[in-house]
A and B are shown apart, each in its own frame.
Chain A
């Protein structure tokens, strides 16, 4: 479960303090599929960074999967991140590793046994439709395929929550739709999915709950593909 209670965040800039989000509150229950939408600069990325504890909010309360993000110790951060998978617009794949190695990397990092990696990685690649590309390096893949590798890596440790920041930002409309259906299938298996996006058509087509942000404030929260 994700709970934001009256969360505010300011950044220090050369021209003084700039407010990124102001009094943001929402709750996302386990198993939900939610879009957080807004134009560029609305505060979506700040919310993502707060969720993955890359930033600490100035005020309010954030609870994710039982972790209190404003009060947690630094040594607890890896355990918070293990409970979630994260996908970025720019994929963040290691270019010198193969598709298999990129996905396996996430398991190695948390100390998974080799036997488990050997079983789990092919399963994940199959799930995202890349079983035949295991030994290929990312540069040889299309944008959509690279994003699916990133998705496989985000899900390989079986997180209960998937956070995707503009996952279709670099994809054409057809690939974007495919990616959304893939995320929907993953959600159907029980994973909570939170997607930050500004793509109106995509959001409307999915008909899911939408939390709309404008200038750092939640302006609407509801089901049915509504978007500003």
Chain B
């Protein structure tokens, strides 16, 4: 009797099922891969939109003007008060002279307008960046109530747009991810169940010759794990190419949009793919094999 037969068999204990059911294993891996790519693509699109919104938020500044007649010490007190205000991230002081210079540089063709005034008509001002744009209106109310504040200006429509988009992204994104996850779980569990069904002979024989449930379960769990790992690795590689050669180029071609670099998201994305893939594969196998182990 050939020696390698036994060794091959023992090595192949867990691989027996895969050998037995290669088409089903391929189907399971394919379904998992497609689901992960769909989920991953959606998350990447959301991240790009979210990063764009963050940048819009940073650009969306609030201007606070002290009275034109305010003294240096009053302006200094106001700066301290502004810095202590909740939700204010950065306070930048722009003196009236710096303001005039900025105006001249921004509107060079109208530079002589400033000269026509003789004395600089611009007030001192503070440019504020907020930590959370969605709390703009509450912060504006606080700022307006501060002592030594003459006027507060901000772009209400831009703020509203960012708030709305953020809200839509969160709700729609959450819903789409949830729907995709449910569909993936459903398809994968059905695929594994079908695969398990075709192995009922193998499981039945194992039970009849006195295999413990843990022994029967083990190869299927290992296979679920392998399906999860292989599916997530394939999905990750495909996602990389889709992102680099598709999404990133598309996003980059739109003015104002700066795509999130793949390097920034490579590790979390790999971790998430592996985690989702392995959990789905192992859970799918464990749940499906349970049915066959009942007495």
| Residues of A participating in the B interface, judged by any CB pair closer than 8 Å | 52-54, 56, 74-75, 77-82, 86, 92, 94, 96-98, 100-101, 104-106, 108-111, 114, 117-118, 121-122, 134-135, 153, 157
Contact = CB atoms under 8 A, between A and B. Distances in A.
Interface of B: 1-3, 5-7, 9-10, 13, 16, 19-20, 201-202, 204-213, 215, 295
B201 A81 contact: no
A118 B121 CA distance: 101
A111 B215 contact: yes
Given A118-B1, A118-B6, A81 B207 contact: yes
Chain B interface secondary structure, helix, strand, loop or mixed?
A: helix
Nearest to B12: A101
Contacts of A110: 209-211
Contacts, number: 79
B205 to A, nearest CB: 6
A74 B295 contact: yes
A78 B212 contact: yes
A118 B6 CA distance: 7
A178 B44 CA distance: 69
12 contacts: A77-B295, A78-B210, A82-B209, A82-B210, A94-B202, A96-B19, A97-B16, A100-B1, A104-B9, A108-B13, A109-B215, A110-B210
- List 5 A-B pairs, minimum CB-CB distance, nearest first: A82-B210, A81-B210, A109-B211, A106-B209, A78-B210
A98 B5 contact: yes
Contact of B210 (A74, A79, A97): A79
Contacts of B211: 78, 109-110
Contacts of B201: 92, 94
A170 B124 CA distance: 102
Contacts of A118: 1, 3, 6
Contacts of A100: 1, 5
Contacts of B13: 108
B6 A92 contact: no
A147 B44 CA distance: 58
B207 A117 contact: no
A117 B2 CA distance: 12
A36 to B, nearest CB: 19
